[in-house]
Chains A and B, each alone.
Chain A
Amino acid sequence: MTMRVEVVERVLRANDALAEEVRAALDAAGVLALNLIGSPGSGKTAVLERTAALLRPRLRLGVIEGDIATTRDAERLARCGVPAVQIETRLVGNACHLDAHLVRTALTRLALTDLDVLAIENVGNLVCPAAYYLGEHLRVVVASVPEGDDKPWKYPSTFARADAVIVNKIDLLPFTNFSMETFAEGLRQVTQAPLFALSASTGDGLNPWIEWIAGQPRGHRS
């Protein structure tokens, strides 16, 4: 006989359980974790290079890099003296996003006690990473001027869940028709998260972003 049973279980329950393990490890070590989501080429790695230099010596940044292939980004950050671990998703089915299992594995290769802030740079993609909680405290979406000012309108699910939004490459504003007002208007339709307009290339506008990170509470370490 056919019967219907009510279930109501999160589809990503298994991922979320692993993410809670990641979160507990971060909190025990007093590390603030950021999940950076943005299109390929939006400048996520460049923002992290600048951020690491400006947080020093107040706060020590470590990075988990997610890419489909190559260890280029982890090498870029290592050259800046930043502890960095690369996840290559080509080794696990070319995943277009990081999941909590990948992050938990990567964490075992970082000395959390030597860090204050952990940036998890997701695979370049403005859609897929948004569905996966990694154990992060805060989610940061990185957009950039050449991508256009319509991105919050086009990808509302990604921007709606951001705790902060960066618009990178403001040094290119004179060469494009990008309107910061249009971008901000689209953003405000879905979130009140702070907006940081900056250039990782020239260093303009970095300070409010750095102070925002420095002002966040970090775990339970005494």
Chain B
Amino acid sequence: MHELSIADALLNEASVAAANHGLRAVNRVGVRVGRLSGVATHALAMAFEILREGPVLGRAVLDIEDADGADLRLTWLEGE
């Protein structure tokens, strides 16, 4: 259930990163989710789809990389 909060934080970080790198439209967002992070990846993907909006991130697709440990990071953006 907290995946909505996590997706919201992820979209905020992605928005900042897109602006920093001059991306006007993001197609894909890479995120690393550790198995001990306490985040359910299917719930995160659903929350991301519900919350994404606007010209920069409104069409972005989430690309989830499973990892060991408790890591929870935005890792890359793909766009133009």
Q: Which residues of A contact B (CB under 8 A)?
A: 1-15, 95-97, 99, 127-128, 130-132, 156-158, 160-161
* Smallest CB separation, B8 vs chain A (Å): 10
With A8-B74, A11-B73, A13-B13 known to touch, is A156 a contact of B2 (CB < 8 Å)? Answer: no
Judge whether B17 and A157 touch: CB under 8 Å: no
Confirm or deny: B21 has a beta carbon within 8 angstroms of a beta carbon on chain A. yes
Instruction: Determine which residue in B13, B37, B38, B77 has the highest number of CB atoms from chain A within 10 A of its CB, and name it.
Output: B38
* C-alpha spacing A132/B3, complex, angstroms: 12
Contact A96 B77 (CB under 8 A): no
With known contacts A157-B35, A160-B36, A11–B2 Cβ distance under 8 A: no
Contact B77 A131 (CB under 8 A): no
Give chain A residues whose Cβ lies under 8 Å from the Cβ of B39: 131
Main secondary structure on A side of the interface with B: mixed
Closest 6 CB pairs of A and B: A128-B2, A130-B38, A131-B38, A157-B36, A157-B38, A5-B21
B38 x A4 contact (CB < 8 A)? no
Return chain A residues, CB-CB under 8 Å to B57. none
- A14 close to B9 (CB less than 8 A): yes
- Do the beta carbons of B70 and A160 come within 8 Å of each other? yes
Sample 25 A-B pairs with CB under 8 A, ordered by A number: A2-B80, A3-B23, A6-B75, A7-B13, A7-B17, A7-B74, A7-B75, A7-B77, A9-B73, A10-B72, A11-B9, A11-B10, A12-B72, A13-B13, A14-B9, A14-B12, A96-B1, A99-B5, A127-B2, A128-B38, A131-B2, A131-B38, A157-B35, A160-B70, A161-B36
B31 at the interface (CB under 8 A from A): yes
The A-contacting residues of B in range 39-59, CB under 8 angstroms, are 39
B78 touches A95 (CB 8 A): no
Could you tell me the distance in whole angstroms from the C-beta of B41 to the nearest C-beta in chain A?
A: 12
* B9–chain A nearest beta-carbon distance, Å: 5
- Kindly supply a per-residue 1/0 record for chain B positions 13-27, scoring 1 wherever the CB is within 8 Å of any chain A CB and 0 otherwise: 110110001010001
Number of interface residues of B (CB under 8 A): 31
Residues of A within 8 A of B79 (CB): 2-3
Asked if residues A2 and B27 are in contact (CB atoms below 8 Å), the reply is yes
| A161 nearest in chain B by CB position | B70
- Minimum distance in angstroms from B23 CB to a CB of chain A: 7
Contact B76 A6 (CB under 8 A): yes
User: Which B60-80 residues have a C-beta within 8 angstroms of A?
Assistant: 70, 72-80
Contacts of B13 in A (CB 8 A): 7, 9-11, 13-14
Option from A5, A15, A96 in Cβ contact (under 8 Å) with B9: A15
Is B77 a contact of A12 with CB atoms below 8 Å?
Answer: no
Which interface residue of A13, A156, A158 has the most chain B CB atoms within 10 A?
A13
Structural contact, B35 and A5, CB atoms closer than 8 A: no
B37 touches A4 (CB 8 A): no
